[in-house]
């Protein structure tokens, strides 16, 4: 279908305010701008309580934000990793989304402000997120969370981190995840797919921008490491059920579809949904794009179907 007029209005707004991008304006100015216009994510409900703390990972103390549903529990659990090409963004941009998901799934949600590239390249962002997930499992009882109902989720680069944690936790047997919710993950290094070429510019995330993010995140030696580039995994069996969101107008569309099919072929449960007319990143656009709420509902309903027992 045609590009959603609300998605186009969002793109127009970004252009009107002169939103910087990492290629032309550099990392610092682009990060600085990401702290503005938080209303784009939509209003923040009061159906979950928000708290903050720091936890230690192998290389740093990092901030986490904890969303706890109203009521006494027991609860499910979600680890959430934000997008931004492993370079940009922060946990302050996701209160609206994660309050709704916490309440809708009756889950304690922990959002992780992992260290960013290029200052901290792979595997540091992944190690932060993996260690934070281990921490959640270790502290689940004090949060009244069922360990068999803890999953991982993320958008864009955060979805890539979630997919990598799903692989690594299977391999290391450190904990067993209930699901992996992947919103338009970056899964491969093929920049010649139809979606990369067709949607290369003008729709938010660009082909050149995605190449820049990959270069910031990984070194040459990491390109065949499945924990960095998940499509490089030789074995995709015995992974957590996958919930996958696929926007139509996204350079990552084709690789998201391919990864979804590969997971299903390997025998995993896959719940996927295409979002016609939508662009990359629309999970964070509920203040301007109604389909962002549709995505929240899809995640909530899918997660509930997997952790209901």
- Percentage of the chain lying above the pLDDT 90 cut: 98
Cβ neighbours, 10 Å, residue 144: 14
H or E stretch including 22?
A: helix 22-33
User: Does the annotation mark 280 as catalytic?
Assistant: yes
> 82 — phi, psi (to 5°)?
-80, 160
How does the average pLDDT of the chain come out, rounded? 97
Determine the average pLDDT of the residues in 144-148: 98
Which is catalytic among the residues 4, 100, 127, 250? 250
Residue 309 has a pLDDT of 67
pLDDT in tens, 232-248: 999 999 999 999 999 99
Cis bond upstream, residue 123 (ω within 30): yes
Residue 308 has a pLDDT of 87
Task: Record the tokens describing residue 103, joined without a space.
Answer: 């309440």
Task: Record the tokens describing residue 233, joined without a space.
Answer: 């995994």
| Chain-centre distance for alpha carbon 152 | 9
| pTM value > 0.95 | yes
pLDDT-based confidence at residue 1 (cuts at 50, 70, 90): confident
pLDDT in tens, 33-81: 999 999 999 999 999 999 999 999 999 999 999 999 998 899 999 999 9
Which is catalytic among the residues 120, 280, 285, 292? 280
Task: Record the tokens describing residue 193, joined without a space.
Answer: 């797919």
Residue 16 has a pLDDT of 96
**52 contacts 64 by C-beta, under 8 angstroms:** yes
Give the closest residue to 116 by CA, choosing from 90, 139, 97: 90
> Is the predicted pLDDT of residue 132 greater than 70, yes or no?
yes
- State the pairing for strand pair 180-183/145-155: parallel
Dist CA 26 CA 33 (whole Å): 11
Instruction: With H, G, I as helix, E, B as strand and everything else as coil, classify residue 90.
Output: coil
Residue 31 has a pLDDT of 96
Give the closest residue to 104 by CA, choosing from 52, 182, 48, 65: 48
Tell me the CATH number of domain 5-307, given options 3.40.47.10, 3.40.50.1820, 3.60.150.10, 3.30.450.30. 3.40.50.1820
Place of tokens 């938080």: 38
Task: Record the tokens describing residue 95, joined without a space.
Answer: 């209160």
Which is catalytic among the residues 156, 166, 292, 302? 156
């Amino acid at each position: 279908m045609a590009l959603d007029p609300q998605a186009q209005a969002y793109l127009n707004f970004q252009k009107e305010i002169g939103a910087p991008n990492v290629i032309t304006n550099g990392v610092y100015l682009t990060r600085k701008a990401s702290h503005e216009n938080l209303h784009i994510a939509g209003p923040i409900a009061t159906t979950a309580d928000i708290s903050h703390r720091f936890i230690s990972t192998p290389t740093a103390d990092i901030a986490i934000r904890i969303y706890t549903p109203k009521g006494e529990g027991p609860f499910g659990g979600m680890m959430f990793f934000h997008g931004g090409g492993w370079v940009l963004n922060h946990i302050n941009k996701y209160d609206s989304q994660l309050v709704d998901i916490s309440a809708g799934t009756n889950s304690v949600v922990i959002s992780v402000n992992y260290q960013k590239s290029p200052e901290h390249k792979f595997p540091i962002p992944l190690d932060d997120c993996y260690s934070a997930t281990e921490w959640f499992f270790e502290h689940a009882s004090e949060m009244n969370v069922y360990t068999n109902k803890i999953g991982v989720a993320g958008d864009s680069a955060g979805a890539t981190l979630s997919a990598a944690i799903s692989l690594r936790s299977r391999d290391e047997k450190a904990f067993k995840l209930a699901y992996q919710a992947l919103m338009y993950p970056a899964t491969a290094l093929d920049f010649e797919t139809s979606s990369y070429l067709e949607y290369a510019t003008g729709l938010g995330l660009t082909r050149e921008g995605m190449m820049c993010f990959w270069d910031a995140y990984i070194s040459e030696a990491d390109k065949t490491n499945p924990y960095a580039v998940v499509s490089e995994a030789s074995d995709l069996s015995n992974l957590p059920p996958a919930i996958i969101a696929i926007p139509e107008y996204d350079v990552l569309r084709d690789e998201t579809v391919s990864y979804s099919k590969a997971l299903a072929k390997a025998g995993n449960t896959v719940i996927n949904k295409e979002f016609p007319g939508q662009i990359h990143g629309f999970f964070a656009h509920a203040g301007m794009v109604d389909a962002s709420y549709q995505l929240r509902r899809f995640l909530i309903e899918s997660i509930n179907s997997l952790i209901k027992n």
